[in-house]
Amino acid sequence: MKLYEITLKPQSGFGTPLKGDTLFGHFCWQAAYDRDLLNGGLEKWIACYGERPFAVFSSAWPKFQEKGKTRYAVKRPDLPLSFFFPEIQGNCLKAMKERKKRAREKWMLIDEDLSLRLDQGDCRSDDDLLKMAGGQLTEETGRMMQKQAAARFQADLSQPHNTINRLTQTTGKGAFAPFSETSWFYYPEMELALFALLEEEATDIDRVTDALTAIGLFGFGRDASTGGGRFSLAEGEEKTIPTADGANACYLLAPAIPEKSDSSEHYFTPFVRFGKHGDRLARSANPFRNPVIMADEGAVFIPKNRAVFEKPYLGRPAFNTSKVMAQTVVQGYAPYLPFRLER
């Protein structure tokens, strides 16, 4: 497999987070309608996805230019704070304040080579990322943002929705009552980095970027029909699959379903995917899929043996999650960054 970085440029708010398993599902719908996206068609590669994944997508991560270098802001690994910051001894109040300050630093910056080292971890807060994002604005956009009293790196907006009763031509009670849903907006001119592992026999980066371009035009996830989930793309760039001398741990770049026998220790936040079908199946008799419990992005797994490092991804897919389409599969795999964890 080859690793690629694809740069996404948000053009609207998002009702669904850009997580790897959801991006994979959108790509599969594109492949279902365009057989040329995968050599031999989607059915061929879905049938062997459990043994040979044709594509594994990461979640989308903020991308910055800092001092002439490209840096990515990923979720701080799901490890205790003591792995990153030494405890202050002898002053409980000062230690508590420092711990609260450090807890807000939920991001970690990594360099373009995707190397991850906890002893050199550059942890940042939302406010720090806001300053970085503001520093790379164009002059015109910068002037506009100066008028914003309380800018945020990721802003929430409550979007009202109405369902019209076609008999009365108005809203009403119950299913026809007005409601609101939250969408997330990135800071203007923000770029996001998506990492994709692709099987060369199945597809290539040009076809994958074509599919993602179509997804960005029509909308990703919830509220796509009302203008949400829009993004544009820059060209895909091949990257070297990361390695690390003496690595003994894996940092996940997307939600994954870990193999029970692969790790001796693990640190992760549980994430439940309450899946729903998209496209034409969204209006089927049963559009909802069975829930899948995953380890969220940012998880850290310590493999039992070094054979795990022979593959550039971790996890396993989930099958039998749908009652209306037996072929449905949840990605369950995730690209990872190998690193050395000192305990």
Identify each DSSP E strand in the chain by its residue range: 2-10, 55-66, 69-75, 107-111, 122-124, 154-161, 179-186, 191-198, 231-233, 237-239, 249-252, 263-267, 270-273, 292-295, 300-303, 313-315, 333-339
- Four-residue CA torsion sign, 76, 80, 81, 85: negative
d(CA 34, CA 28): 10
Residue 257 — φ and ψ, nearest 5°? Answer: -105, 100
Is residue 144, in this structure, part of any structural domain at all? Answer: no
Number of domains within the chain: 1
Is residue 47, in this structure, part of any structural domain at all? Answer: yes
What is the amino acid identity at position 97? K
pLDDT, tens digit, 9 for 90 and up, residues 275-316: 888 777 877 778 888 899 999 999 999 998 888 888 999 999
d(CA 260, CA 275): 22
Q: How far is CA 218 from CA 24, 183, 227, 270, 303, in A?
A: 16, 17, 8, 31, 40
Q: Tens-digit pLDDT profile for the chain (343 aa)?
A: 999 999 999 999 898 999 999 999 999 999 999 999 999 999 999 999 999 999 999 999 999 988 888 999 999 999 888 887 777 666 777 778 878 888 888 999 999 999 988 877 788 888 888 888 888 887 777 777 776 656 777 877 777 778 888 888 888 888 778 878 788 888 888 999 999 999 999 999 999 999 999 999 999 988 888 888 999 998 789 999 998 888 889 999 999 998 877 777 889 999 999 888 877 787 777 888 889 999 999 999 999 888 888 899 999 999 988 888 888 899 999 999 999 887 6
If DSSP codes are grouped into helix, strand and coil, which group holds residue 34?
Answer: coil
What burial class does residue 126 get, using C-beta atoms within 10 Å of its C-beta: 0-12 exposed, 13-18 middle, 19+ buried? middle
**Runs of H (alpha helix) within 35-187:** 42-47, 92-103, 126-134, 139-145
Q: Taking each helix axis from N to C terminus, what angle separates 205-218 and 20-33, rounded to the nearest 10 degrees?
A: 100
What is the amino acid identity at position 240? T
Is residue 34, in this structure, part of any structural domain at all? Answer: yes
Smallest CA-to-CA distance from 251 within 299, 295, 312, 315 is with 299
d(CA 24, CA 54): 10
d(CA 151, CA 68): 25
Is residue 111, in this structure, part of any structural domain at all? Answer: yes
Q: Any idea how long the chain is? A: 343
Residue 72 — φ and ψ, nearest 5°? Answer: -115, 140
Residue 225 backbone class (left: φ over 0; alpha: ψ -120 to 50; beta: rest): alpha
pLDDT of residue 93: 78
Is residue 147, in this structure, part of any structural domain at all? Answer: no
d(CA 221, CA 194): 16
Is residue 33, in this structure, part of any structural domain at all? Answer: yes
Which residues form the domain of 238?
2-138+152-339
Is residue 256, in this structure, part of any structural domain at all? Answer: yes
Smallest CA-to-CA distance from 194 within 223, 164, 234, 157 is with 234
Is residue 119, in this structure, part of any structural domain at all? Answer: yes
pLDDT, tens digit, 9 for 90 and up, residues 52-84: 999 999 999 999 988 888 999 999 999 888 887
Structure tokens at 28: 């599969």
Give the pairing of strands 179-186 and 154-161: antiparallel
CA angle 223, 224, 228 (to 5 degrees): 75
If DSSP codes are grouped into helix, strand and coil, which group holds residue 170?
Answer: strand
Structure tokens at 63: 């991308």
Smallest CA-to-CA distance from 61 within 154, 137, 135 is with 154
